[in-house]
């Protein structure tokens, strides 16, 4: 099985979009840019990674990707909870980094 890379890519683009969005403070913009770059680093590795079917960590990671993407797609909600959302994204980077240790193969 694989991670949900299409949703992850949308999530990353959204991070970059918010880093150029004047509704967020310069500090928040800077954080979105940094997290977008780290998430993209994960994506580059995950694109070619395969995992054993049903790997619980991958299932959980895909749920986290979907949940973060859903939250992030709502700009107003993101504005109101920017601190918490940035924190969640930071945790997601950790989860995705951890997945690479479990990858069954790269192709």
Partner 1 sequence: MVARFVFTLGLVLVCSGCVTANFTKPVASLKQSIDTAGSSIGSYYTELNKYERDLYLEGVAYDPALRAEMMDANGNPTPLLGQKFSSESIKARMDAISLLGTYAGRLAELAGSDAPQKFSSGVTALGTNLYELQTTFANLGAGDKTAKNYVGPISQLVGVAGEMFLEKKQEDLVKKAIVQGAPKFNAIVDLLEQDMVGVIEPLRSTGLKQTLATRVNAYNNVDGHDALEERKKMTVAERRDVLNAIQNAADQYDMFVASNPTGVITGMRDAHAALLKYAESKHNPSDFSELLSAVEAFQAKVERMAVAVQQIQALRKSK
Can you give the binding site for partner 1, defined by CB under 8 A? Answer: 5-6, 8-9, 12-13, 16-17, 19-20, 26-27, 29-31, 33, 36-37, 40, 43-45, 47-48, 107
95 in Cβ contact with 58 (< 8 Å): no
φ, ψ dihedrals at 99, nearest 5°: -60, -35
Q: Compare residues 43 and 95 and give the one whose CB is closer to partner 1.
A: 43
Minimum separation from the CB atom of position 99 to partner 1 (A) = 14
106 in Cβ contact with 50 (< 8 Å): yes
φ, ψ dihedrals at 70, nearest 5°: -65, -45
Q: Compare residues 37 and 81 and give the one whose CB is closer to partner 1.
A: 37
Minimum separation from the CB atom of position 55 to partner 1 (A) = 18
* Pair type for strands 49-50 and 105-106: antiparallel
Minimum separation from the CB atom of position 7 to partner 1 (A) = 10
């Amino acid at each position: 099985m694989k991670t949900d890379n299409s949703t992850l890519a949308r999530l990353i683009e959204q991070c970059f979009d918010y880093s150029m969005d004047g509704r967020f403070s310069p500090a928040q913009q800077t954080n979105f840019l940094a997290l977008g770059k780290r998430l993209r680093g994960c994506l580059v590795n995950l694109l070619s990674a395969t995992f054993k079917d049903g790997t619980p960590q991958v299932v959980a990671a895909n749920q986290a990707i979907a949940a973060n993407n859903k939250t992030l797609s709502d700009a107003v909600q993101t504005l109101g909870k920017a601190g918490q959302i940035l924190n969640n994204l930071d945790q997601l980077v950790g989860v995705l980094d951890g997945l690479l240790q479990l990858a069954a193969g790269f192709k």
